[in-house]
Amino acid sequence: MIGLMILLVYVAIFILSFLAVRFLVHKTTRDFTSLKTVTFGDESAVTANRWASVVSVVTIFLIWGSFTGSALVPGFLHAPGPFLGETSFTYTLQAPDGQTDDATVHVKVAGFGQESEKFEVPPGDGFAKDDAVAMNASRSATILFDRNDEVTRKDGANIVAIDGEPIGPGQDIRTPAGSFTLTDKGAISFAPPKGLQMEPIWLPPPEAVVQRMVEIADEGYRDSTLWRHLGYSLFRVIAGFLIGALLGIPLGYAMGLSAWFRGWFEPIVEFMRPVPPLALIPLVIIWFGIGETGKIILLFLASLWIMAIAARAGVSGVNISKVHAAYSLGASRWQIMRHVIIPNSLPEIFTGARVAMGVCWGTVVAAELVAASEGAGMMIMVASKFQLTDIVLMGIILIGVIGFGIDILMRKAENFLVPWKGRS
C-alpha cells in the first residue's frame, strides 16, 4: 500500500517536473542538435537532460526524507507520521449478570526509539476501572484491562464495545483512536494510527545515515575505521584485478597468436568464463580460508578470464592490413607485437578492464558478506545482524559511490590513453 503510494508520488513528480522544465526552461544554446528535426530514433541526438538528472536525484532524497520524517525535508512535505502523544478510549465491560460499566484507558504514545514512561491514573468509579498504558509509536499493545477491575475475565466478564462500537473476541474494529482487536482470550490489542512513515529500523532518514557515517568515520566500526574497511575492499579488488590482468592479458595474446596456446587454454577459459565468481567463494574458503589470500585469489579468478578474453578479442580485432603493412615496412615479429598488436588491442583491453573492475568490486563485497574481519561487505553484513539499517544503507551507498568512481576513473584513463577508440 505504501509502496504503491510512493510509486504514484514518484510518477507524478516525473511527469510534473518534465512539464515544468519543458515550459519554464528555455534552451538558450542553439547547438547543432537543436536544429535537427528528426530526433526520435536518432540516438546521437539524445543526450541526458541535466535537469532530469538533478530532479531525479533530488526526488529520491525527497521521497526518502518525506517517508522517514527527515528533518531535512520541510514538515509540510512529510508523509503522515504515526500518532504521538496522549489518547484515550473507553471500553464497555459486561459482567456475567448482564450489568455493564464503561472505563477509560489513557494511552501515552512515545516516538520511535524513545522511552515510554509508565504513569498512573485515578481508577474512577464503577466495577470497571480506568487504566494507564505507555507504548511506542507504530507498535501495538496488548492491554490487560481487567487487572484492576472488580469483575475480571476469570469471573466471566467480557468486553462488548469499544468507544461505543460493539466488538467480540477475535473481531477487530477501527475508531479515530486507532485499531482494536479482541484476542481470543478477550484482552484488547490496541494500535494507534501508524501513519505512512517508515520506522527507522526499516528505513532511517537520510540525516541519520549521514550522522552514522560521520560517527563511523570518526570512531570506526568493529575495531577498524571506516577508511580501513573501505581500504581493505579496494586493496583486494586492485590486487586481484592487477594479478588477473597481469596473467590474463598475456594469456589472451598467446591465445590470439598461437594455435597451440589457443587449443590448450580454450577449453579452460570457455569453461571458467560462465562460472560466476560468487560460485567459487565456498571452494576458495575451503582451500584458502577467509583471509586475504583467498579473497585475492577469488578476485584474480574473477578478472583473469575477462582480461584473457578481452586481450584475445583485441588481437583478433587487428585489421590484417595493418599487420601486412608493418611487415612490408620491415618490422620484425616483436616490433609488430609492440607497435601494432598491443596498441591495437588497447581499446578492447580497456573495455575488458572496466567490466573486470565492476565484477571484482561486486565479488569482493559478496565475499566479505560471507566471511571477513574487515571490508565494506563485512560492515553491512554485521550491521544487518543487529538490524542497524543505517549502517547497512551507509555501506550500500559507499559501495555504489566507490564502484561508480572506479568506472569514471577507468573511462577517463581510457579517453586519455586510447583516444582513437571507435574512430578508425
Partner 1 sequence: MSGLSIENISMRFDLPNGSAVQALKDVSLNLKEGELMSVLGPSGCGKTTLLNILAGFLAPTGGRIVMNGHEVHGPGAERGMVFQQGALFEWMDVRANVSFGPRMKGQRESEWGANVDHLLDVTGLGDFKDKAIYELSGGMQQRVALARCLANDPDVILMDEPLGALDALTREKMQGLVLKLWKETGKTIILITHSVEEALLLGERLLVMAPRPGRIHKEYRLPFADMGVNADLREVKKAEGYAQTREEILGMIWDMEEEIMGRTEDAQ
Catalog residues that contact partner 1 under the rule CB under 8 A: 319, 321-322, 324-332, 335, 339-340, 343-344, 346, 418-420, 423-424
Closest approach of partner 1 to the CB of residue 242, in Å: 23
> Is 105 strand, coil or helix?
strand
Cα distance between residue 384 and residue 304, in whole Å = 32
Cβ atoms < 10 Å from Cβ of 316: 13
Cα distance between residue 86 and residue 109, in whole Å = 6
Closest approach of partner 1 to the CB of residue 419, in Å: 7
Closest approach of partner 1 to the CB of residue 32, in Å: 19
Please identify, using beta-carbon distances, which residue of 340 and 393 lies nearer to partner 1.
340
- Compute the radius of gyration of the chain from its Cα atoms: 33
Cα distance between residue 363 and residue 297, in whole Å = 11
Please identify, using beta-carbon distances, which residue of 10 and 327 lies nearer to partner 1.
327
Closest approach of partner 1 to the CB of residue 329, in Å: 4
Q: What are the φ/ψ torsions at residue 318 (nearest 5 degrees)?
A: -70, 125
Cα distance between residue 412 and residue 396, in whole Å = 24
Closest approach of partner 1 to the CB of residue 346, in Å: 7
Cα distance between residue 282 and residue 145, in whole Å = 55
Please identify, using beta-carbon distances, which residue of 231 and 343 lies nearer to partner 1.
343
Cβ atoms < 10 Å from Cβ of 410: 18
C-alpha cell at 313: 578479442
Please identify, using beta-carbon distances, which residue of 72 and 331 lies nearer to partner 1.
331
Closest approach of partner 1 to the CB of residue 313, in Å: 17
Please identify, using beta-carbon distances, which residue of 87 and 344 lies nearer to partner 1.
344
Cβ atoms < 10 Å from Cβ of 350: 20
Closest CA to 336 of 346, 322, 348: 322
Please identify, using beta-carbon distances, which residue of 70 and 344 lies nearer to partner 1.
344
